[in-house]
Structure formats: C-alpha cells, structure tokens
Structure 1
Amino acid sequence: MTARSAARARLGLLALLLVTNCVAQAEVGVRELPGQSGDGPVTVFYPTDAPAQTKVLGPFTLQVAWGAAPTRGNGRLVVLSHGSGGSPWVYADFAIQLAQAGFVVALPEHQGDNWHDHALVGPRSWERRPLEVSRAIDVVGADPRFAPLLKLDRVGMWGMSAGGHTALVLAGGRWSPAALRDHCEAHIADDFPTCVGTSLELHGNWADGLKKAGALFVIRRKLDDTRWYGHTDPRIAAIVAEVPLAVDFDLASLAHPVVPLGLVRNGKDAWLKPAYHVDQVLKACASCTLVVDAPNAGHGSLMSPQPPDLHGPEVRLLADPPDFDRAQVPQAHARITQYFVQYLLPKS
C-alpha cells in the first residue's frame, strides 16, 4: 500500500465514524455578513444552541437557526469558495456538517461570478477570488460575535470547480490566462466545456467545426495575458480542492504546496475532465492527498442540495450520472471534514 492510499484509508475510516456521529451534533446557525471592499456578502454557518427552524431560500429549504447567536465550537474557521455561477445554498449540507463538527464556515459570494451576476466569469474572477477569500477571513475575524470564538492562525479552505482553482492558487500555485489559451488551442475538441462553458455544446454534426473555430477566435483575443498570477495567505493552514479547474497552472508551482493540499476527484466529470485537471495535479504533487475519489460522480454530484433549475448543457455537465449513488455525498463530505480536523485541530 502506498503512502497516499494508506492516508486515504485512514481518512475513510475516520470519516465513516464522523458521519455516524454527526446526527447527535449541535444545531447550526446561519447569518450573512457584509463583504469588504465592494465584495459580495459572506454567508456564515456556525454552531449554536438555538433550535433549528425551517428556512426557505428560493428553491432551497434548510433546517437551521437563522440569525441565532453563535456558541463556541472548535475555534477554527473554514472558508468555502463556490463554483462559477454558484451560491452558498448548493453547499449547505457540507457547511452544516462542518459546523456540526465545531467549525465556523464562511462562504464569500465571488463578485461577478455568482448565481445572479456573471459579468466577470473566467480569468477576471479568478484574479479576484483568492483575495476575496482573504477578505472573508478578515470579515469573520472582525465580527464581534465570532471574533472571541476563533483563532485565525490555522484556517481551512475548500473550493469546488472555479473555487477549486482558487484553492490551488492559495496552495501556492501560479496560473496564466495564456496557459488556458494554449490548452484550448491544443484540446478544443476533447475539452470543449473547459474552454467554452455552457454557452455552446458540440453535437457531433457539421456545425461543430464552426463552433470550435468561433470559440478559438474569441479565446485567442481574450486570453492573451502571459503574466502569472498567485496569492497566498499565511493564516490558511490546510486546503482541499474539489474537481479543480487546473489546465492554466504552472504544475511545477504545485509540486510542493505551501500547506497540506487535499484533492477530490469525480471520475465522470464531463465539465473538467480529470485527465486534464485533477489528475495532472495529482501527478505533479507527490505530497497531495486524494481525500475523495468518486469514480461514478459527475462534476456537480457532490453539491448538496443540488441546484433544482438546471437546463440545456448544464444538465449533462452537472447532473448525476445514472450510476451515481447519492448516499456517497455525506460520506465524501465527512472525509473532507475529517481532513480539516486532522490538519487544523491540535493533536490530543
């Protein structure tokens, strides 16, 4: 057994114990804090003594204590970075599980790349996102309700998809828009959703050539920036990148992450194909831990609750593959939670 597989086995055993015990954990409160420097709001999940009530948020229904006073948990903060076009609520089950384990959990809304604003989707958002994570730490740390309950010297950070890109940056990776351009020029047919998103879809007919040519024309005009971008935060002590967008990274910069880096791999991800993204990070990073390997999961399979209003290409790219068992979702969340317990909490 390799060191990586042994670590996965230990995490798996601990995670199964954790998911069994979470049922008896404390209630979870939720509140929104205003962001800094023009950022969107920061949604915070946290332990509380107040009883849960039904809270309806658009199409989502949660059992939480909205606006309740926080109680002391384990003293650690975990920041979650949503995927492109995302909202806090598709990660609510994961955030609740983290809060039940004692963490305060902050979800910043990334400006220009969220459920109601798509103005900055892509590299313009990717430049901002790591800084928005740092400012979210500042926001929670400055709030008089949470500041006395937290020590911010060992913060956890998790991100999914574009949020996974953010996670890789905060782990010490550097990326370039031109590297994405080069990838798309080489792999436009095989990795079309990475390069185009949901705006176009290939159907194996005569129009595909025009779509690829048009996409490359736009990509070459927009992705001509050859600079490398990066940002780290000394307060962050452990990171998990779930199905990260990774083709625009200098993989050598991820060979030795600045903090422990865990990865989540969804084997049937049709949006960010593992062979081009997470698998390349795993090859480059000998010290990384594969925290979750879900061979039958699609790109969005670990989101919970799932977005209810998928349409068009989003259905194929985000909906569960037919053979995916959603009983794996809380188990995956438990493994990630245990990863943060392992690296953020003092050893007893």
Structure 2
Amino acid sequence: MRLIFVLGLLAMCCQVSAQTVGFHQQVIGQHSTRPLAVTIWYPGEQTGTAESIGENPVFYGISAIRDAVPEKGRFGIVLLSHGYRGNWRNLNWLAANLVQDGFIVAAVDHPGTTSRDHNPLQASQWWQRPKDLSRVLDWLVTESQWQPFLDSRRVAAIGHSMGGWTVMNLIGARFDRELFNRDCQKLPNPRTCGLAGEFGLDVPQPGEPDTLLKDDRIKAVVSLDLGMARGFSPSSLAAIEVPSLILAAGVDIGDLPQQMESGYLADHIPENKRQYRVYEDAAHFSFMQLCKPGAAELLDQEQPGDSIICFDGGERSRVALHQDMYEQISRFLKTVLKD
C-alpha cells in the first residue's frame, strides 16, 4: 500500500510537470575535438504529447513534452553536472522541479566520465569538465533557440559528486596537487585517492591550465555531496564570493565521509557566502533519480555492488528526500538570483 501511495504521488507530480516542461537534446560542437551532448528542460506550452523522459528498467523518468514550443518570458539558467560515470538523467527530477520555478535547465554529458563513455584520456583532462559547462552557457546565450528567453544575469550551476567538484571550480576553487597528494598519503581514501590517476590529479597532465577556471557569469552554486574537496586550496575557498549551497549526505557509503568533503568546503568558504546542510538520513546516491522496485537486483546483475545506487539508509523515502532537497535548493536560488 505504501508503494502504491508513493507511485500515486509520482504520477500526480508528472501530470503537473507535463503541462509546462519542455525537453530537447542535441550535440554542440559536433566538429570540435570535444562534442558535447546537451539536454535542456524548459518552460513550454502544451503543444504535444507528454512522455516519460529518462525512464529505463532501473529508474523512473519525468513527464515532459519533447521539443514543446517555449513559453514566452525571460528565465534564469541552471547548469547541471553529473557525477563520475553518471549522465544527464541523474538529476532529471530536480531539473523538472526547477522548470516549475521558472528556470531553463541544461545538463551536459561530460566526455570520458559518463555511464557509457569511459575514456581514460578525456577523464584525465580534469579541467575540461568545468569548461564544458562554460561552453554550454556560451552556446545557450549566443546560438541556441532559447536565446530570446534567457535572463543571462541569473545563472546557477549545480553538481552531484564529481559534478559538485566541477561546479566549485567555476566560482574560484583551485585544485592544489601538492595538497591533494599529501592528503592522500595521510588518508589513502580509495573512493577519491584511488581515482586520482584516472582523473589526472596525481601528476601534471599535458595541456593542464595554470589559471583559475572561474566563470564570472555564475552567480550561485549548489554542491550535492561532492568528493575530492580536500584537493582545493584553503586560500582559494576563502576567497570565494559567489553564494554557495552545500548539501551533504550523512550516511557514509564507505570512504566518503561528508565531514571531510562537503564539511571541508563549509570550513573554508566564508560563512556569509555559504549555506551548509547535512541530510542525516540520506546516502551519496540519494541525490540521483528514483529507483524502481527490483532496481537494486537488476543493477547487481549487471555490475555486482551497483545496488548501492538505490540505497538511502534512513527512514525517509527518496521521494521525501527529493522534496526536501528541492525546497532547500529552490529557496536558495530564489534568494540569490533575484530578478
């Protein structure tokens, strides 16, 4: 009965969203050395049939109208960055809600670190991830079909896990390799330090920039249980002036304690520039989309251990957690990105 009730809530949510959420996908920079697959959710008119977007045997999708006529108006921009080996679907639940708040939301699949694209060379070019988001923003405000509907003064970036690390670069956090390696010698965490070689963090990489990756157009950032935060220099975090919302999972899935990741950000970013909240009953993957019944078993069949993606670890359902998270993010963005 509880499952039926939850699914009923989901259905009602999707019916409401379908009346206003448009959906579009395309590749930008097709002839460049780094083409980017971009997914857009936007306020649209009821000009087509709603479908379940991003649904598969494991995850629920969200209801939207593919290529709907855009609603007239001026809307703020939210850029989304997925975690390591994630994809644009992971934060679709949040994207649909933010459309209801009057945002156009753009997610990018970061080459080399997505679910179906594991490219060691691209993954090691760690600086490309923040640049991907800046490229998407460039395209949105200068070339895209949404250009007439954008308020480019109101731009936020939101990232989960490695995506949280990615968006922090955009507001001035600076990776310090010496600090990172020293910390990994002291605390050899397999979930962060163990990936240092794959991410190109342990030794200098060809083409690596020596300047900040900051994008001054970003006016707000939301970090969702990020990792590798201890590689950011304290001085660069102390100099951050862009308002930041740091959300963390209190249930440790193993070797990713929030006190040493999200807590590290909160300790070093000026208190008047950040908000910090720990969801004690959430785990790292609670920020991702909703799992279907039997999803954990399916995930383990494909890759033993992946069932952890559907683990939350507390009394509240992921539906309830998402509602709480969305309300927190919505209040933050409405406060910071005022008209």
State whether TM-score is above 0.5.
yes
- Partner residue of 1:148? 148
Kept after mapping to 2: 8 A contact 1:34/1:41: yes
Match of 2:10 in 1: none
**Counterparts of 1:30-41 in structure 2 under 5 Å?**
30-36=23-29, 37=32, 38-41=34-37
Cα distance, 1:75 vs. partner?
A: 1.9
If each structure's strand is expressed as a fraction of its own residues, which one has the higher value?
2
**Structure 2: gaps spanning 5 or more residues:** 1-12
Q: Mark the CA change 1:121 to 1:23 in structure 2 (over 3 Å): closer, same or farther.
A: farther
1:122 offset after TM fit, Å?
A: 8.9
The residue that corresponds to 1:201 in the other structure is none
State the TM-score, normalized to the length of structure 2: 0.80
Alpha-carbon distance, 1:31 to partner: 0.3
Distance 1:265 1:44 in 2: 26
Equivalent residue in structure 2 for 1:284, among 257, 264, 268 = 268
Contact 2:282–2:314, Cα closer than 8 Å, also in 1: no
Task: Measure how far apart 1:181 and its partner are.
Answer: 2.6
Residue 225 in structure 1 maps to residue 204 in structure 2: yes
2:236 pairs with 250, 253, 269, which one?
Answer: 253
Shift in CA distance, 55/323, structure 1 to aligned 2, threshold 3 Å:
closer
Distance in 2, Cα, partners of 1:322 & 1:67: 38
Q: Deviations over 1:44-90 (max 9, x none)?
A: 00001125512354615431101112113552111011111111112
Q: Note the alpha carbon deviations across 1:123-175, whole angstroms, 9 max, x for none.
A: 62431011100001122223452010012133111111111001111121100
SS in 2 for 1:240: strand
- Asked whether the equivalents of residues 268 and 297 of structure 1 are also in contact (C-alpha less than 8 Å), the reply is yes
Which residues in structure 2 correspond to 1:57-72 (within 5 Å)?
A: 57=54, 59=56, 60=59, 61-72=61-72
How has the CA–CA distance of structure 1 residues 337 and 121 changed in structure 2, closer, same or farther, with 3 Å as cutoff?
A: farther
TM-score (norm 1): 0.78
The answer to whether 1:320 aligns with 2:302 is: no
Return closer, same or farther for 1:154/1:339 CA change in 2, 3 Å cut-off: same
> Does the CA-based 8 Å contact 2:285-2:309 persist in structure 1?
yes
The one-letter code matched in structure 2 to 1:135 is R
Percent of aligned pairs with the same amino acid:
25
- CA, structure 1 residues 22+39, in 2 after alignment: closer, same or farther (shift >3 Å)? same
For residue 149 of structure 2, what is the amino acid of its counterpart? L
Q: Is it true that 1:45 corresponds to 2:30 in the alignment?
A: no
**Closer, same or farther: CA 57–241 of 1 in aligned 2, 3 Å:** closer
Q: 1:295: which partner in 2?
A: 280
The amino acid that maps onto 2:216 is: P
Q: How many residues align?
A: 305
Q: Provide the rounded CA distance (Å) in 2 between the counterparts of 1:121 and 1:317.
A: 26
Cα RMSD after superposing both structures: 3.0
Q: What letter is aligned with 1:294?
A: Y
CA contact (8 A) 2:44 2:70 kept: yes
Greater shift, 56-65 or 119-128, is seen at 119-128
Does structure 1 residue 99 correspond to structure 2 residue 71?
no
- Whether 1:305 and 2:290 are equivalent positions in the alignment is yes
Find the counterpart in structure 2 of residue 192 from structure 1.
190
Distance 2:62 2:173 in 1: 35
1:225, distance to aligned residue in structure 2 (A): 2.7
Task: Give the distance between the partners of 1:338 and 1:142, measured in 2 at CA.
Answer: 29
Aligned pairs (5 A) from 1:324-335: 324-326=316-318, 327-335=320-328
- 1:342 paired residue number: 335
Is 1:266 the counterpart of 2:264 in the alignment?
no
Preserved contact between residue 27 and residue 36 of structure 2 (Cα < 8 Å)? yes
Name the SS of the counterpart of 1:294 in structure 2: strand
Aligned-pair distance for 1:264? Answer: 0.7
1:282–1:288 contact (8 Å) kept in structure 2: no
Residue 55 of structure 1: which of 43, 52, 56 is its match?
52
Q: Contact 1:113/1:125 (CA < 8 Å) preserved in 2?
A: no
